Amino acid sequence: KAGVTQTPRYLIKTRGQQVTLSCSPISGHRSVSWYQQTPGQGLQFLFEYFSETQRNKGNFPGRFSGRQFSNSRSEMNVSTLELGDSALYLCASSMGLLFDLNEQFFGPGTRLTVL
Amino acid sequence: AQTVTQSQPEMSVQEAETVTLSCTYDTSENNYYLFWYKQPPSRQMILVIRQEAYKQQNATENRFSVNFQKAAKSFSLKISDSQLGDTAMYFCAFMKHTGANSKLTFGKGITLSVRP
């Protein structure tokens, strides 16, 4: 069974641009969660999508948005990029919702650098 | 708001020895879950062990076990018979047991190095 895949793996953007990251969950998984990992702030939860609906959201500004498609693939968009958005963005998939204690399987991440 | 604190940024242990990673958390919730995640140098994070707060018995998964002290809000991870493959960053995480806004809150992580 293929694991969680994220594309692209590396990305370089400049301030003010926008970016879209993609996550393909494990086959059969319906929940996708996104996380931002930085040396300063550590790992922070962005949001969770289940059945094409955002179910939970972390404390990030509205510049961070996401969506989920009918095949459970998810995209995350960051608009008006700032230097502080440079991070490793991880996505994780699970069979069901996080609060039902479904185990999450993480992807390798997308390394975003904002210049 | 919940907070998770991992006060030790780095630890080192000799192969085959035992090491304990510390984690404390702060919450007013009574029902919640606690997790330890491992992130090896390849960056793919995996779940090591989890504990439901309502369970008094400490969780165990092979060489990994936890010491859950609910009153003290402490959740340490013990790795027995350390192996080179245990070298990784370890994150402690908290999640409250309600449907609304059930998100994972992570500690800053601890880098564990296993020496041959």
Contacts A92 to B, Cβ<8 Å: 45
pLDDT tens per residue, range A41-87: 889 999 999 999 998 888 899 999 999 999 999 999 999 999 999 99
Q: What is the pLDDT of residue A1?
A: 67
pLDDT of residue B112: 97
Which residues of A are less than 8 Å from B110 in CB distance? Answer: none
Mean pLDDT by groups of 10 residues along chain B of 116 residues: 90 97 93 93 87 90 95 96 96 81 85 96
Residue B104 has a pLDDT of 84
CA distance A44 to chain B (A): 7
Minimum distance, in Å, between the CA of residue A98 and any CA atom of chain B: 7
CA distances in angstroms from B43 to A4, A39, A44, A88, A113, listed in the order given: 13, 14, 16, 10, 17
Look at B45 and A45 and tell me if their CB atoms are within 8 Å. no
CA dist B64 and B18 (Å) reads 10
* pLDDT tens digits for range A1-47: 689 999 999 999 999 999 999 999 999 999 999 999 998 888 999 99
pLDDT of residue B98: 66
What's the half-sphere exposure (Cβ side, CA atoms, 13 Å) at B55?
Answer: 12
Is A92 close to B97, i.e. CB distance below 8 A?
Answer: no
Residue with tokens 């601890």: B110
**DSSP 3-state of A5:** strand
Distance, CA of B77 to CA of B94 (rounded, Å): 14
Q: Which residue of A has its CA nearest to B45?
A: A106
Task: Provide the pLDDT for residue B73.
Answer: 95
Mutate to test the interface with B, among A32, A43, A89 (most CBs of B within 10 A): A43
Contacts with B7 from chain A: Cβ below 8 Å:
none
Min Cα–Cα distance to chain A from B82, Å: 24
Residue A9 burial (CB count, 10 A): 12
Burial class (CB in 10 A: 0-12, 13-18, 19+), B30: exposed
Check residue A8 and give its pLDDT: 97
The residue type found at A8 is P
The predicted-structure confidence for B59-82, as pLDDT tens digits, reads as follows 999 999 999 999 999 999 999 999
Across chain A, mean pLDDT equals: 93
